[in-house]
Structure 1
Amino acid sequence: MDLDAYVAAHAFEWQRLEALTKKRRLTGAEADELVERYQQVATHLSVVRTSAPDPSLVAHLSSLLSRARNRAAGGRTGTWRGVQLFFTDRFPAALYRLRWWWITTLVVNVVVTGVMIWWLLDHPLVEQSLLSPAEVDQLVNHDFEDYYSEYAASHFAAQVWVNNAWVAALCLALGILGFPIVYLLFTNMANVAILGSIMIRHDHGAHFWGLLLPHGLLELTAVFVAAGVGLKLFWSWVEPGELTRSQSIAREGRTAGTVALGLVAVLFVSGVIEAFVTPSGLPTWARVGIGILAEAVFFAYVFVLGRQAFHRGQTGDVDASLLEDRVATQA
């Protein structure tokens, strides 16, 4: 290929794309033209790389495409509309696409916790090996309930939010390794089972569930979502399917990032419930009812909004225009 002739033939398109990237405001037509020029220049870059890989020209076109991509992405996502689309499309679609992973995680953990509580109730010597009678009395009559009113509600909400977000982040960050997630879940469920069995054995079962369920339903669901998505990330390199192993890990890693951002909002809601509803003077049925309502809203969010977004083509992955150029390499 005659590189000089190719440059002369397409210089105008490159100059026009550069001019569009420098404009402070783009009209609708100009935004469409920016996308069209971007695709054209991406193809030109591919041709140059394949047929006449001049380093300076490749660097120039790569830089131009990078600025154009940032300009296009900024025009679409740097607004409240972008935030809205995240919560109405991308996040719920990710939850829906990966639903069987986190629902299975949820069911398994609930069953295991129930079995552990039943076993601990049938083996009282385990309780005696963990706590003295005085410590049990302090836990049952004071510590468990006082935990929810020890600090000012606003401070406690922030503390709970950060703690739960950290647990969810660990599940997602360690997902690629697989086993650490199982360990985190087992530790978490063992703590719930031990507390539950002690409270139930000492006739405070209603008190235990009345304080746990208002916030725990949504909170634990968020943790199970993070764990399920983390396990999917682990499975993405064990069984990549039709993609290469690196492509599979990259896709699920980006989706895990989507879920991590969305769970920040979910855990914020559960933290507010834990700080303001759980220790409130509302009757138990009202507090538990609020927890059930929050859980129902979450599942409706996934299976109504998420299902609709998924069938519109959303997967939870980032928009294709934000990814590295994937154009044909033919002239």
Structure 2
Amino acid sequence: MDLDAYAAEHGAQWRRLSQLSAQRRLTAAEVDELIALYQRVATHLSVVRSRSPDPALVARLSRLVLAAQSRLTGRPGLSWSAVGRFFSTSLPGALYQAWPWWTGVAVGFSLIAGFFMWWIAENPESAAALIGERPAAELFEARFVGYYSEHEASSFAFQLWTNNAWVAVRCLAAGILILPVFYLLWHNALNIGVTGGVLASYDRTGLFFSMIAPHGLLEMTGIFIAAGVGLRIGWAWIAPPPDLTRGQAVARAARSGILVAVGLVGLFAVAGLIEAFVTPAAVPPAVRVGIGMTIWAGFLGYVVVYGRRARAAAPLRVDRAP
């Protein structure tokens, strides 16, 4: 096949298709012409690929066909309706679909952190071994409280947002390997349990929860969700549904994970603002905890109400947790 002769014969049609594809407004006659040229050039591309697959010509014709196809079908773009569907259907549906996983992570994490807190509180010598006697305990308390107000609030909120997002990204990305997720959860549970246990051993339990609860409820829920969704991706590889290959199962779980990851960006932004502005606020502890609990309950209600609605409208497959 003589490619030069073929290009000379059909070059005018290719140029015309390129022109119509780039044209902003088309008349009815031009739309008909565009459709006809799109079909012809698609045929030309098929002929070149099968008889003489010159890379440069194949790439040129492929671009022409894709541009014409995009012009005919419309270019997808961001719209308020798409954003609304994401927050009213896609995101809560993905969160609700994975709820057995992240609630399981939450229960396991809470049991481990609670055990360490109880054990250290019931064994004061362990707290003394960790931080020393009473003067060290007072210094520990001052540092614990001062941590939330030692930085400028807006920069502190941004720092918290990026740090929590990084933890969540690691949980999601490491989910396919399973064990790194458990390591990250163990490290955080140990940190919280030891901190709470030391304060509890010196009768500062109320202080601990009044400083942790306002932001921690929402923040840790985001971590639990990231870890649960990450483990769900890993489990899709270990035990895929009978009707899917391992690759298909992982791809489907990963698509849901991407939706959750986008949603967690907003969740951690809210948690960071609470930790930077509400947790250190000079108001009664009940007010700070009440604000945090209200926002946290609102998030859970959003997941349950909108997630159920999304699942009822377009049922999602829920893979069983191990």
TM over 0.5: yes
List per-residue Cα deviations over 1:158-187 (Å, max 9, x = no partner): 111111111111101111111000010011
Mean Cα deviation higher: 79-88 or 205-214: 79-88
Q: Where in structure 2 are there 5+ consecutive unaligned residues?
A: 1-13, 318-322
SS at structure 2 position matched to 1:174: helix
- Paired position in structure 2 for 1:223: 223
Q: CA deviation at 1:312?
A: 2.2
Q: CA deviation at 1:70?
A: 6.1
- Paired position in structure 1 for 2:201: 201
CA contact (8 A) 1:93 1:314 kept: no
Q: Where in structure 1 are there 5+ consecutive unaligned residues?
A: 1-13, 317-331
- Paired position in structure 2 for 1:310: 311
Cα distance change on mapping 1:68 and 1:199 into 2, 3 Å: farther
Taking CA–CA contacts closer than 8 Å with sequence separation of 6 or more, which of the two structures ends up with the larger relative contact order? 1
**2:270 corresponds to 1:269:** yes
Alpha-carbon distance between aligned partners in 1 of 2:268 and 2:72, rounded to the nearest angstrom: 32
Q: CA deviation at 1:85?
A: 2.1
Cα distance change on mapping 1:55 and 1:163 into 2, 3 Å: same
List per-residue Cα deviations over 1:11-44 (Å, max 9, x = no partner): xxx99998885454799x9xxx9xxx8xx98xx8
CA contact (8 A) 1:102 1:226 kept: yes
- Paired position in structure 1 for 2:233: 233
Cα distance change on mapping 1:154 and 1:15 into 2, 3 Å: same
CA contact (8 A) 1:236 1:249 kept: yes
- Paired position in structure 1 for 2:320: none
CA contact (8 A) 1:214 1:277 kept: yes
Cα distance change on mapping 1:257 and 1:61 into 2, 3 Å: farther
- Paired position in structure 2 for 1:4: none
Cα distance change on mapping 1:60 and 1:176 into 2, 3 Å: same
Q: What value does the CA root-mean-square deviation take over the aligned residues?
A: 3.4
**2:97 corresponds to 1:97:** yes
Alpha-carbon distance between aligned partners in 2 of 1:183 and 1:24, rounded to the nearest angstrom: 55
1:5-154 → structure 2 map (5 Å cutoff): 22=22, 24=24, 55=53, 63=63, 66-67=66-67, 75-133=75-133, 134-140=135-141, 142-154=142-154
CA contact (8 A) 1:89 1:314 kept: no
List per-residue Cα deviations over 1:272-330 (Å, max 9, x = no partner): 111111111121111111111111111111111122122222759xxxxxxxxxxxxxx
**2:301 corresponds to 1:297:** no
Cα distance change on mapping 1:262 and 1:127 into 2, 3 Å: same
Cα distance change on mapping 1:18 and 1:158 into 2, 3 Å: same
Q: CA deviation at 1:239?
A: 0.9
Alpha-carbon distance between aligned partners in 1 of 2:261 and 2:153, rounded to the nearest angstrom: 25
What is the aligned length? Answer: 290
List per-residue Cα deviations over 1:240-282 (Å, max 9, x = no partner): 1121111111121222121111100000001111111111112
1:243-282 → structure 2 map (5 Å cutoff): 243-282=244-283
Q: Name the TM-score, length of structure 1 as normaliser.
A: 0.76
CA contact (8 A) 1:175 1:231 kept: yes
Determine what percentage of the aligned residue pairs are the same residue: 41
